Amino acid sequence: CGSECADYSILNPLGVFPAFCRNIILNNPRKRNALSLSMLRSLREDLLHDAKSKELRVIVISAEGPVFCSGHDLKELSSEDDVKHHSQVFEMCAEVMTLIQKLPVPVIAQVNGLATAAGCQLVASCDIAVASEKSQFATPGVNIGLFCSTPAVALGRSLPRKVALEMLFTGEPLSAHEALMHGLVSKVVPEDKLEEETMKISQKICASSKSVLALGKATFYRQMTQDLDTAYKITTQVMVDNLTLRDGQEGIEAFIQKRKPVWSHSRDEKK
């Protein structure tokens, strides 16, 4: 078992192309949706599938069962497997996590249950995370002698350093509301409202220009690694570039004319 995906129409704005959302479901609840090598490969394939389509506007990652994701499959990390296999697991995991931020569409984690170790890393790597009130987040690798060093990359970039380190040093979980307070998730809602809230965010995203969002997402992650002066230099140029896009001018003209914009969702420049 791995992940499975389904595309569904979510909104049809005034643009030429219908919009749809891709829901990628981690579907191995018997193994607590562990990120085995096969699961990671399946997840990568689902993320990349038709990612540049003008119709695709948002990707949601959810899961079957009471555990969102328990992290790596520890049976794959036993001494019975060689170092080469262990390297493949961690390298594939890193590829998937970085791929999420490189995709041209926003990726939302819809979390309902426990997310631990690499599962917590997956939540931290998504652009947005909506969690149910019963969800918990932990990096308990230290308790079994395998420090969560790769999850720490995403965790350390999402949480205050001391909060991240307490999670990593103790393995103690954060509640959903603690995760919200510290910035690991975007929203916390009752379990019966989780899908509705995720859909509401997806619909809002679908109402905007895909090309503008893609430019904005790429620029956000690029500038976050820079010093302040460099970040402003990069984003100043991107604002200028944004204005040359057909959708950049369409949005301004629509605002001035007090009408809804008609997006092209293309990277074409305004002639």
- Domain CATH number, residue 129: 3.90.226.10
Q: Is residue 165 part of a domain?
A: yes
Each of the 271 residues of the chain gets a pLDDT tens digit; together they read 566 666 666 644 444 456 889 999 999 999 999 999 999 999 999 999 988 888 999 999 999 999 999 999 999 998 777 889 999 999 999 999 999 999 999 999 999 999 999 999 999 999 999 999 999 999 999 999 999 999 999 999 999 999 999 999 999 999 999 999 999 999 999 999 999 999 999 999 999 999 999 999 999 999 999 999 999 999 999 999 999 999 999 999 999 999 999 999 988 887 6
Judgement on whether residues 191 and 247 belong to the same structural domain of the protein: no
pLDDT at residue 67, as a whole number: 98
Flag whether 2 is in a domain.
Answer: no
Residue 265 lies in a domain: no
Pairing of β 128-132 and β 114-116: unpaired
CATH of the domain at 229: 1.10.12.10
| One domain for residues 54 and 162 | yes
Residues 154 and 228 in one domain: no
Q: Within a domain: residue 268?
A: no
Q: Domain boundary residue among 172, 192, 207?
A: 207
* Residues 198 and 228 sit within 8 Å (Cβ to Cβ): no
pLDDT of residue 82: 87
Name the domain count of the chain.
2
**Domain extent for 131:** 21-207
Let me know whether 107 and 232 are in one domain: no
Give the DSSP letter of residue 64: S
Instruction: Please say whether the beta carbons of 213 and 205 come within 8 A.
Output: yes
User: Residue 271: its pLDDT value, please?
Assistant: 64
Is 66 inside any structural domain? yes
Answer yes or no: are the C-beta atoms of 158 and 126 closer than 8 Å. no
Same domain membership, residue 108 and residue 240: no
Q: Are residues 200 and 253 in the same domain?
A: no
Q: Whats the size of the chain, residue-wise?
A: 271
Note the pLDDT of residue 78.
84
- Give yes or no: residues 202 and 223 share one domain: no
Residues 45 and 178 in one domain: yes
